[in-house]
Amino acid sequence: MKINIRPPIHKSLLFIHDIIIIIIGIVISHYVCFHHRLLNYSEISFGHFWGYLILFFTVMIFFVGNHLYKYQIILNRPDHTLALLKSLITSLIILIFTSFIFKITEISMGRILLGIIFTTLFILFFVSRVIIVPQIYYLLVKTKRINRNLLVIGAGELSIKKARYLKEDKRSYYNICGFLDDDESKQGKSFKDIPVLGNTKDLKKVVDSYKIKEIFISINNICHESLQALIDLCKETQCPIHIISELYNIVSEKLEVEEIAGISAFRLQPYNQKLGYKIIKRIFEVLISALLIIILSPIWIVIAFLIKITSKGPVFYKARVIGKDGCEFDMLKFRSMYHDCNPKPHIDKVKEMINGNGNTKKLREDTRITSLGKFLRKSSIDEFSQLWNVIKGDMSLVGPRPNVPYEYKIMNEWQKKRHSVLPGMTGIWQVRGRDEVKFNDQVILDLYYIENRSLKLDLEILLKTIPVVIFGKGGV
């Protein structure tokens, strides 16, 4: 999962550039074939049109899939070249395979033409993308045609080291205006010719005075609560925020995060959720949930029958949980425990997990779980009934998992921020860590999702959930 900074390499312009290059490449290839009598005008047919259409879409899809519109790839020539070759070769294979399946003989038989097209495209893309585009970027940075004022929060050893790196890196288009630090002994001083402009109380004034465009938080000696309070303060400026802290190491361990001039960081973009995202997501979730309920209904009937004959009690268990903004609702689950079990073992486990930042593994050898329940939990089938909660609007397909009231009660305020959106049936930590992460890390991954959620990220999480469910990774 990659979240990139927004450097002044505009994706839309690069996208248009690639379309033009593909068209030019096809035209040049035909000219070469006609000029050397490798192809006659009379041999051009409608089949070629379909082939070029397939070629166009496959190339563009694999350019996106291989991150050829990402800042890090564009400015890294070896990686850029490799991703370019990989995209073109994969597109060629798919084009040939498709031409055989649909019997587009003009393409499958025109091996020389295909070879010339892909050689021409690689040369054109290599020259324009790998050589020219980075040179233009570096020239614009050097002449300060592109420049963004950056403020660094924290003037400790880590911040000074990163600030110096940003200042010296030729890829960086940042103008580091100064530090903010609450240490009184650092006020009025300069580090690596970068002045300390004040403390965090001066944030808004400094951002306005120096026309700050982005904020860089680089602090290790800080607790979760203080870091989250600092982040909330920075978010009020509506500037993109980049965070480097050992408290957020889980993000770089479990996810592919952004780079800011070669420095890996956790990024928070000012989140102004568009109405379109909410509407499209809601429609998609209702349709998918309804479809899955219809498809899975025969299996549900079998599961309900097995639950009834293997243990006494209802088929479904209604768990009272905390949803968006701390509101409670009943979350449906297929019953996996014996009826009317004592919740004390789970309460004790939860207290230990939250207060001691323990791992999120569920209780092992829990005698309250039925034999069938172990299978239902291992395969996550017990969660499928929550599709009803999605249709009702209490839950989303993707989002942080809900907590029960006694969990919510002992959580810290910064941890409760995971409840600022609808809870989900699946989420980032389920597909990237599941029960392998500690509680605070689980919360941080949820906060990462909340700050960076999008339709693309939701779809990626849903797709990655499928193998987790099939192979029962992390279940009980």
What would the pLDDT profile of 282-324 be if each residue is shown by its tens digit? Answer: 999 999 999 999 998 998 899 999 999 988 889 998 989 999 9
Q: Are 283 and 277 in contact (CB under 8 A)?
A: no
DSSP 402: P
Record the tokens describing residue 63, joined without a space. 């350019």
DSSP 310-364: HSSS-SEEEEEEE-GGG-EEEEEEE--B-TT---HHHHHHHHHHHHTT-B-PPPT
Contacts 24+ apart (CB under 8 A), 78-83: 80/129, 80/130, 81/126, 81/130
Rg, C-alpha atoms of the chain: 27
Class of residue 300 by CB neighbours under 10 A (exposed 0-12, middle 13-18, buried 19+): middle
Cα separation, 155 vs 141, whole angstroms? 25
Given the structure tokens 């000012």, which residue do they identify?
270
Cα separation, 349 vs 328, whole angstroms? 22
**CATH 3.40.50.720 segments of the chain:** 148-268
The phi-psi region of residue 211 (left if phi > 0; otherwise alpha if psi is between -120 and 50; otherwise beta) is left
Beta strands, E only, 36-182? 148-153, 174-180
Record the tokens describing residue 412, joined without a space. 């810290």
Helix, strand, coil percentages in the chain from 3-state DSSP, rounded to 5: 60, 15, 25
Sequence letter at residue 449? Y
Cα separation, 393 vs 402, whole angstroms? 14
pTM of the model: 0.73
Predicted pLDDT of residue 357: 75
Q: Calculate the CA dihedral of residues 95, 100, 101, 103 and round it to 10 degrees.
A: 110
**Per residue in 21-48, is it b (16+ CB within 10 Å) or e — as a string?**
bbeebbebbbebbeeeeebeeeeeeebb
Cα separation, 23 vs 49, whole angstroms? 12
**What's the length of the chain?**
476
Q: Are 415 and 220 in contact (CB under 8 A)?
A: no
Strands across the sheet with 190-191, in order?
A: 190-191, 194-198, 174-180, 148-153, 214-218, 241-244, 263-268, 258-260
Predicted pLDDT of residue 475: 44
CA 444 from centre of chain: 13
End-to-end Cα separation, the chain, in angstroms? 26
Residues of the chain with pLDDT under 70: 1-10, 37-48, 102-110, 252-264, 270-275, 358-365, 432-436, 471-476
Domain 148-268 is in which class? alpha beta
Cα separation, 18 vs 3, whole angstroms? 22
Three-state SS for 14? helix
DSSP 275-317: HHHHHHHHHHHHHHHHHHHHHHHHHHHHHHHHHHHHSSS-SEE
Instruction: Write out pLDDT tens, residues 242-292.
Output: 888 877 777 766 665 556 655 667 777 766 556 678 888 999 999 999 999
Predicted pLDDT of residue 476: 41
Given the structure tokens 């004022």, which residue do they identify?
149
